[in-house]
């Protein structure tokens, strides 16, 4: 079972119940990894524009992780 949640308390609860959790940022990276989207930046901006709070630290981490995937795919 998989749950898509961005709330920390909900993730902890799901994990305590043995449910695999992934956040929206993780979904964006997964979509890029699978070639569904070319970049996660537009998705991040759309989420922010819709009112989802994403810290600059998290956005930078997601973008760095995303670039790492792109570099790995080029090898």
pLDDT at residue 12 tops 80: yes
User: What Rg, from alpha-carbon coordinates, does the chain have?
Assistant: 13
**Domain boundaries along the sequence of the chain:** 25-75
**Which phi and psi (to 5°) does residue 37 adopt?**
-130, 150
Chain centroid to CA 72: how far? 18
Pairwise CA distance, residues 5 & 33, whole Å = 20
DSSP letter string, 12-72: HHHHHTT-EEE-HHHHHHHHHHTTS-S-SHHHHHHHHHTT----HHHHHHHHHHHHHHHHH
Quick: pLDDT tens for 38-75.
999 999 999 999 998 889 998 999 988 887 654 444 33
What pTM was estimated for this model as a whole? Answer: 0.74
């Amino acid at each position: 079972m998989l749950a898509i949640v961005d709330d920390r308390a909900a993730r902890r609860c799901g994990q305590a119940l043995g449910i695999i959790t992934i956040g929206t940022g993780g979904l964006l990276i997964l979509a890029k990894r699978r070639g569904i989207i070319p970049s996660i930046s537009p998705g991040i901006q759309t989420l922010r524009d819709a009112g989802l709070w994403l810290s600059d630290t998290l956005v930078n981490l997601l973008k760095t992780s995303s670039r790492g995937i792109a570099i790995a795919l080029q090898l």
